[in-house]
Amino acid sequence: MLGCGDTGRALDAGGRRRHQQPRFKPVPRSDAVTTSFPWLSSGFASARESDPVNLFPKVSIKPQPKSLPSAFLHHSSDNETRKTANGICCIFRVFESPLFTPADHRSMESIAALGLAANIVQFVHFGATLLSEASERHHSASGATIGNAELELIANNLQQLTADLTVSRPGSDSQVLESGLQDICKRCRSVADELIAVLDDLRVKGEHKRWESFKQAAKSIRKEKKIEDLKKRLDDLQHGIMVCLMAVMRGQQSEINATLEQLLDYHCKMEISGATNLRDLRLHFIEALETAHRNWLRDSTRVVTGFRDELVKLVKSNEEAATTQAVILSLKYELMTARQRSIEDAHRKTFEWIFHDTPNEPCAKSSFLDWMKSGDGIYWIAGRAGSGKSTLVKYLFEHPKTRGNLKIWASGKKVIMASHFFWIAGTKMQKSQEGLLSSLLDTIFTQIPALIPAVAPWRWQKAKTQTLDREPWTRKELIQALGLLRKQRQIPVRFCFFVDGLDEYDGDHDEIVRVLQDLITSPDIKVCASSRPWNVFEKTLGKRNSGQLCLEDLTREDIRLYVHETLAMDPRFLDLDDEHEAISKQQITEAIVDLAHGVFLWVILVVRDLLRGLSNDDTVSVLQKRLYSLPSTLEGYFQLMLDRIDAVYREQTAQILFLVLEAERPLPLMMLAFLDKFQTGYAIESPIQAKNQWELYNLCNKTRTRVKARCCDLLEVAQPGSNFFVDPQVVLLHRTVRDFLLTAHAQKQLRHHLPTFDTRAYCYEALLLQMKMLPPSPEYVSSTCIEVLMLNDLMFYAYSIERSGTPFDLAALDEAERILKHRDTASSESDQMETLTSLREWPHASPSTLQPIVVRFFASPPGERVYQAALEFGFHRYVDKRRRDEPGLDKGFNFLIQWFPAI
């Protein structure tokens, strides 16, 4: 079980206490207690700082033979076949995850058998060849003893390789599908034993070498029939392996087939280059098997060589694919591309000037097009807040013309483009140096997996030789890897990195500029970076780089186009009669362009206000008054939005804004659905009542309407998605809104309407209420592990409140335990098994650090899940209370763990 009398001890198989390191530590961030809002993430911090224990048994495969003799290598068409035995261990290592069901372990056994089959094919083929050579040498002048030592070593290697074959568990499907291969392996061991016995009998022994040699020669004549018998048996085994592999690779229920398909599927889902090659190698192997089967009697040696070589290629390629997946997964982090996806696409036809031959304003030192085709170093896109820098960087990164122009610079080398969009309001990784470097390496390794061994050899070897460990990379590792990337010349490739928002980096800005400058010391790397025109960037990027533009000086025509298409072409605006007005409609649109000063966000807000006026049937003169009454700066505009909010809403406005400001990631809309019920006791007293999809949809829609009414345009809320506990999300309109709300004046105004508000206490109650509403469907809950993560976040908030010096109400934790126990009782064992089984693909789409959290949840007995979480977090007051109230705690694992071997 996960925990018992104390957090450092557990029971072994015999019921004895054994020492065991805690798998979680209390959340260590003191700042997180007061400022963080770790929705769906609190477990990340604690999980990263611990050593997760794999609760499921690993498949033990140790085929590491001695060095093979020269005769073996001479006959091999690929020296890499020597690594087959070691290599197959890595094919399934990507699946050795606590989240995978034992079906995956059976698949690992099947793939291990495939690798072992490759070794056996090699041995049988070369053993038969050497026996033929031995027979020939027997009839030659030099005698029959020349090849004995080599053959004996091969036989010994076969014994070692076959000794560790994993036998399928009784009753499993793989026993039927792979039983033929296992039978052949047993017969191979028998042949190997007999070969060793024959060779040992033929070896020259004793002190009288000449007499012994004469006796040995006489024996060899008598043993020739035995050798011929062994040759025939080896030929039969060779054909048997071929037929068995053919049946397994063609069988629809074959676990070998299923596992290779799964590995290919993950390669495709992760968009790793080489998926087509994996598919082709598998087809080529099957084709080689069929060819060998058809032509077996005609030329067995040639056809066996053909399918043997294809098998070796198949094993090696899948080993490398699994190792590649393991390394790339270790680089991924939560919301890695969320910031880029959240940035609005450029308005139609805007920013097209960036691909012109020459800059259209003297402020640009050189055109971006020239820099793409032949420039080097860092191209700096400077711009005022709200001028559209992030939109432009996204536009450049995703536009096909960018890659086309970079190919001219690459001069025949492959072009790799990678990006990172810093976000000061996001997670730690989204605004850190580690996040930047991880994003770049993730893209590079995904597009050119062959770079991994050269750029990160330590990670490559670790993934090959150990159980998959997705421990996040350290900054030192990341810098070292990029340092090796700068120096590598094995693969002809050039890199262009797009880095947005240097001013949103949470650290020393001089340091992040130095990181970029280190990258461009390689002639094969250049960087396009954007930021506000702060002095630190002006001194380092503005004066030292020939590539630079000031965005607000170049977007006048883009702004004019936007105003024309969104305002001037609006039917209500077109219907306005300005014949008798003092100002024309065109003058209004031109005034907007003039007043914008290149700040696109200001234009968007102004146009939005004028369109509202059109809804009120404003005339041209009224629109003019409205335009000139609006603040000319973004800060003034945000203050106007805040002042416009209805007085009756302002307390909840402050609550919502504080929650969004303190969130470490976009806040799910559902978290804001319970503001009226906060601190009323409703969270504990309300009944457990699962809601259906329609009820959840209606609740989300009502909450969305309320949020928009209370926060105007300061926030953006998307339409409800498929999982109402995750989507839609609530985000600030722009980074400048966050800057404004954090000013002393805005904070004072918000606190005036809300003197005290504990975001952690509110979030605990909101999560508790959501747990009571969760639908019972296993597919719905497990699709995001939402039930697991809710518990983890509940414990985070409870523990952080406790640590802050305010005693947490333990009854609220008891209520969480009651909810989970009710859900366990309401669902059948088959439902829970289905939930767990559906997690098969989950870790490949989610941060790997969540795996221990999921294991802890499913391994905990019903009624002890909150208790076990409290143990891991170190919430001693609650743990002591539960032990006093329930002396029978720590009984053992959940039945699911006990059933794992049979899943």
The residues, ordered by sequence, that sit 6+ positions from 854 with a Cβ below 8 Å of its Cβ are: 98, 99, 785, 788, 839, 842
Last residue of a domain, one of 742, 772, 802: 772
Last residue of a domain, one of 605, 630, 655: 630
Radius of gyration of the chain (CA): 34
Distance CA 18, CA 16 (A): 6
The residues, ordered by sequence, that sit 6+ positions from 806 with a Cβ below 8 Å of its Cβ are: none
Q: Is pLDDT above 50 for 292? A: yes
Question: Which has the minimum average pLDDT: 315-324, 344-353, 410-419?
Answer: 315-324
Question: Which has the minimum average pLDDT: 2-16, 79-93, 351-365?
Answer: 79-93
Q: Is residue 371 part of a domain?
A: yes
Distance CA 197, CA 202 (A): 9
Based on the fold, state whether residues 823 and 801 are members of the same structural domain: yes
pLDDT band for position 247 (cuts 50, 70, 90): confident
Last residue of a domain, one of 493, 521, 553: 553
Beta strands in 637-699 (DSSP E): 667-668
Q: Which of 255-269, 487-501, 546-560, 581-595 tops mean pLDDT? A: 487-501
pLDDT band for position 171 (cuts 50, 70, 90): very low
pLDDT, tens digit, 9 for 90 and up, residues 638-694: 999 999 999 999 999 999 999 999 887 788 999 999 998 888 788 898 999 888 888
Based on the fold, state whether residues 653 and 783 are members of the same structural domain: no
Please report, rounded to a whole number, the percentage of residues in the chain having pLDDT higher than 70. 67
Q: Is pLDDT above 50 for 319? A: yes
Based on the fold, state whether residues 671 and 615 are members of the same structural domain: no
pLDDT, tens digit, 9 for 90 and up, residues 493-533: 999 999 999 999 999 999 999 999 999 999 999 999 999 99
pTM of the predicted structure, to 2 decimals: 0.77
Q: Is residue 27 part of a domain?
A: no
The number of angstroms, rounded, from the C-alpha of 228 to the middle of its chain's C-alpha atoms is: 56
- pLDDT, mean over the chain: 75
Q: How many CA atoms lie within 13 A of 534 on its CB side?
A: 14
pLDDT at 427: 86
CB contact burial 668-681 (16+ within 10 A = b; e otherwise): bbbbbbbbeebeee
Based on the fold, state whether residues 799 and 877 are members of the same structural domain: yes
For residue 728, whether the previous peptide bond is cis, meaning omega lies within 30 degrees of 0, is: yes
486: how many CB neighbours lie within 10 A of its CB?
16
Q: Is residue 38 part of a domain?
A: no
Of 805 and 101, the one with more pLDDT: 805
The pair of structure tokens assigned to 695 is 């009820």
pLDDT band for position 536 (cuts 50, 70, 90): very high
Based on the fold, state whether residues 304 and 345 are members of the same structural domain: no
Q: Is pLDDT above 60 for 377? A: yes
Q: Is pLDDT above 90 for 112? A: no
pLDDT at 41: 34
Of 203 and 83, the one with more pLDDT: 203
pLDDT at 118: 73
pLDDT, tens digit, 9 for 90 and up, residues 687-727: 998 888 889 989 999 999 999 999 988 998 877 667 788 87
Distance CA 275, CA 324 (A): 12
pLDDT, tens digit, 9 for 90 and up, residues 176-228: 345 666 677 777 777 777 776 766 665 544 444 444 444 455 455 556 677 77
Residue pair 774/781 in contact (Cβ under 8 Å)? The answer is yes
Q: Is residue 184 part of a domain?
A: yes
Based on the fold, state whether residues 101 and 248 are members of the same structural domain: yes
pLDDT band for position 244 (cuts 50, 70, 90): confident
pLDDT at 79: 36
Q: Is pLDDT above 50 for 88? A: no
Based on the fold, state whether residues 723 and 596 are members of the same structural domain: no
Q: Is residue 56 part of a domain?
A: no
pLDDT band for position 762 (cuts 50, 70, 90): very high
Based on the fold, state whether residues 547 and 569 are members of the same structural domain: no
Please report, rounded to a whole number, the percentage of residues in the chain having pLDDT higher than 90. 38
pLDDT band for position 123 (cuts 50, 70, 90): low
Domain count for the chain, please give it. 5
Backbone angles phi, psi at 367, to 5 degrees: -75, 150
Q: Is residue 4 part of a domain?
A: no
Based on the fold, state whether residues 541 and 595 are members of the same structural domain: no
Q: Is pLDDT above 50 for 467? A: no
Residue pair 334/41 in contact (Cβ under 8 Å)? The answer is yes
Based on the fold, state whether residues 626 and 643 are members of the same structural domain: no
Distance CA 122, CA 129 (A): 11
Q: Is residue 641 part of a domain?
A: yes
User: 557: buried, middle or exposed (CB in 10 Å: 19+, 13-18, 0-12)?
Assistant: middle
Q: How many CA atoms lie within 13 A of 467 on its CB side?
A: 15
pLDDT at 425: 85
Helix (H, G, I), strand (E, B) or coil at 493: strand
Of 315 and 328, the one with more pLDDT: 328
Based on the fold, state whether residues 430 and 544 are members of the same structural domain: yes
CB contact burial 728-742 (16+ within 10 A = b; e otherwise): bbbbbbbbbbbbbbe
Q: Which residue segment(s) compose the domain that 100 sits in?
A: 80-138+148-168+175-201+221-331
pLDDT at 439: 96
Backbone angles phi, psi at 657, to 5 degrees: -65, -40
Q: Is residue 346 part of a domain?
A: yes
280: how many CB neighbours lie within 10 A of its CB?
11
Based on the fold, state whether residues 130 and 92 are members of the same structural domain: yes
pLDDT band for position 628 (cuts 50, 70, 90): very high
Q: Is pLDDT above 60 for 359? A: no
pLDDT at 400: 95
